Structure 1
Amino acid sequence: MNRQFRKIVATTDVHSAFGSAAPMLAHLHAARSDSLIVDCGDFFEGSGFYRLGEGRIERAVLTSLYDVLAPGNHGWPHYFEPQLHRMTVCANATDDSGAPLFDRLRVLDVGGRRVTVTALIGPQAFNAIPSTQRVGHRVGDPVQALRAVMLEHHHRVDAWMVLSHSGFEEDLKLAESCPFADVVFAGHCHSDVLGPARVGDTLVVKGRELGAGYAVAEPVDGGWAARSCLFADVTEVPRDLAALLDEISSIDQQLRGSVGTLSEPYRNTSLDRRRLLEEIAGRLHTGLGADAVVLNETALRTVRLGTALSLGNLLAIEPFGNQLVHAFLPEKDAQGHDELLSRLAEDVGPLVVAPAPLPPAIRTVLTTDYLADSFLGGRTHQAGTRLGQAVHHVLTSPPPESAEPDKGDRR
């Protein structure tokens, strides 16, 4: 099919959220007739669909419905698979020698204008990639990379579209530093800020995450217009998508299976992930005899819970399969715990520690393999359990204070 693009449709941070995928898939299928379909990263990981499907569904959706991809920190290795690598652009990711890891841009006609589509990954997002997945990879300054690409190609194009996996606030700064950009499609935000926000002549806009919505940009007299939209409910889907939806449905049935009855404090509520992590950290500290426990709040996700814990709930709460390990602290961090925790919080967000404050002289902490390998030097030994197992145990076990007291020997 000879497609003529009138507009650009962008999703972001879908995170394998296929529990209600029909509206997104049907809309993108229909939009392909006159729209360039792009994604701003993190299409993979974040739900049981990824854990059980191992990326098959995501790969099928991207290769059948999308045109251009920006890489995200989640699912980073998938963007190097041959089919997806050919679809991916990024101006500021290189190997150790400085060679680009991906094509830096695409040039296409949209609404009668010659348009460059490029992408950027923010340093914070890049550093959140597990260290073992980014060996030999480097990230450059987004502003400098975008300016360099513009200087090389400005004579060839009429407009600049940027797919950014950096966060909305960072994209506002990018727009201020690179006023030649017409539209910045934001990602890596996980916020309700959608825009469009105007910075000079640049529009910054974001679609809703988790497959709920999209951003769209189209040429108008004197520039570009952009908006954020929700995917509309559908009653039927195109026949072309039937096999894909059947596979989604098959995994969905597995995810609906119960893995236990929820403990009273967690029933019929939106999960407070910090409260859950604090309870997990406390139990791990006492139960496994760890000197200290350090966990990052973003290791878990918030979901709405009922009375039973389903497999889908469990894999949505802890979608990353983190292993718990005892990590030996680097020598410089064995005493300066405040500095260590401050640095970790800057890299990964809010932390939960037990005990609080940390003891003055500890050499190991119980944490996730992700934190240990990426930020604590990688010297570890296994704790023999996964974070998901700890989540399951706490959510389905009575809290310690509610256990029936020992009534002694009644003989």
Structure 2
Amino acid sequence: MSKTPFSLSRRQLLLAGAAVGGSYLLPGLHHAAWAAGSDAPEKTTVRVGFIPLTDCAPVVMASLKGFDKKYGITLQVSKEASWAAVRDKLTSGELDAAHVLYGMLYGLQLGVAGPQHDMANLMTLNNNGQAITLSNQLKAQNVTDAASLKKAIDAKAKGSYTFAHTFPTSTHAMWLYYWLANAGIDPFEDVRTVVVPPPQMVMNMKIGNMSGYCVGEPWNQRAISDNIGFTAVTSQQIWPDHPEKVLGTRAQWVTENPNTARALTAAVLEAARWIDASDDNRRETVKALAGRAWINTKVETLEGRMLGHYENGLGQTWQDAHAMRFFHDGSVNFPYLSDGMWFLTQMKRWGLVKTDPDYLAVTRQINRIDIYKQAASAVGNVTLPASEMRSSTFIDGKVWDGTDPAAYAASFAIKR
């Protein structure tokens, strides 16, 4: 692992800047990196959508802390009602970019999450921090984990239990399906699944519309606080340090606005680093996010899990070694090719695509490592990984490292 190098020396950059009227501004020398002359953003106002979830934090704090101004842009951050609304506004151009589900971008690229659009992933916004919540009605039946859930499901007619996730190709659908299938529960045959926007999960469970759901925070902790459910498993128990939300946009937007894409990525990357720099910064972030304009919830509902303090509603508390991360020396944010390919393997596994896509080619098209590296260079002191792939071990012991994705997709006992 090595620190991001500048391709030119400091002296060379200063000379080049002088030669073109000062258009090159060094990070650290000025608080306007990459924001002048020929490198100036094509758009100075950038509309970025978000869903009220803890992991929207880098986008929100990039605006609130002024990191956007440092890179010559102003973020107009727009609260959206559902992931479907984010999708529609993103693809229509009403939004320039968004805090978006990793799997949504890939679903749009393949035409299985709506009309086909070429998409771009500029960076990963966070790792970890989602969960599967089960209802207190199940707890009353001594269902507290996947094994006891399978026994309860087997004892009833197929489809008797309903589970919710956030979008058909969402990360939450994939975590839910993976966890159920690992317990021998077919998510398409044995249970019923429905799509519910994140802020509506708790109310729908409260009135009995579902037995469980997979969603981001604070809506799992909220179920515990409201005494209607408990955390059966966290997403980081399914895949430690998994990618979650990304900074997504249309490929055409990046083509038309490459400097703006770099500036946007740099601003959000710097915000992510700021959040992860200290618990005090995380607490400041929580206080901001709890406000009406953002998540609109109690500070205490957000703060515990933001700081890695977990309770599961079953009497267990712990400090999570893989709690939500936003930067982690840049390892969170790099758009690893293996991460994107994994979502494609699950789309194949669950029949969302009928034939194996060209896993590597599709991922190289979407994950804009080129833009990310430029942004990391602008921010400065962001470590780049030695490889565009990484290795991960899942809850079932399977290892995923991006090699032979077709065989990996076909290797699961439960699939469609």
Higher normalized strand content (fraction of residues): 1
Do the structures match in fold with TM over 0.5? no
- Bigger Cα Rg: 1
* TM-score in terms of structure 1 length: 0.21
Higher normalized helix content (fraction of residues): 2
Q: Select the structure with the greater relative contact order (CA < 8 A; seq sep ≥ 6).
A: 2
